[in-house]
A = this chain, B = another copy of it.
Amino acid sequence: MKFSPLLDELIQSLRCLPGVGPKSAQRMAFQLLERDRKAGLKLASALSSAMSDVGHCQSCRTYTEETLCPICASHKRGTSSTICVVETPADVLAIEAGGHFTGRYFVLLGHLSPLDGVGPEELGLALLERHLASGDVAELILATNPTVEGEATAHFIADMARRHKVMISRIAHGVPVGGELEYVDSTTLALSFNGRLPL
């Protein structure tokens, strides 16, 4: 015995969401049916619009339903000679929240991960190389995560940028401001020693 066909279909479909197993899919379906059908319908329409209409910015690859994202479309920032390379659109938001960076971005939407089938093509590196080859880029700031994959991705991109004689930098990793030394992990601590600056 199973649930009714439509309910079964809903529970199965919810499992496409990352981290949602059979039990939580059931709980989600029951909660929507019992408490909030309006929210369920709103989610259905948001999903269908986003899946159909959200594409990639033709210049930086971030998600947008326009040809260019607001930053790439802006007169001032879209032609900046400094490009900051990040892994996800959430990283762009985090850097923009800081408000210090005034260049443009390139969003990889991931990192090199051969076992998951993510290579240079999946990260749009051909598009990044066209930017580098155009002569419009003076500096490439690598802001991928300080993880094994993030570092490998940064090195791969650095090699590419070197071929085009573009200046390359990596954002600094170390003890966060306000963080207490004794609670910082040993890798971060090692990075913070390696990256020490003369006073």
Which A residues contact B (CB, under 8 angstroms)? 1-7, 9-10, 12-14, 16-19, 24, 26-34, 36-37, 39-54, 63-66, 69-70, 88-90, 92-93, 96-97, 109-110
Contacts and interface: CB of A to CB of B under 8 A. Distances in A.
B27 A42 contact: no
Contacts of A4: 54, 63-66, 69
Contacts of A47: 10, 13, 32, 40-41, 43-44, 47
Contacts of A26: 90
A2 B93 contact: yes
A28 B33 contact: no
Contacts of A46: 6, 9-10, 12-14
B93 A1 contact: yes
A97 B2 CA distance: 10
Contacts of A6: 46, 49-50, 53-54, 65
B10 A50 contact: yes
A56 to B, nearest CB: 9
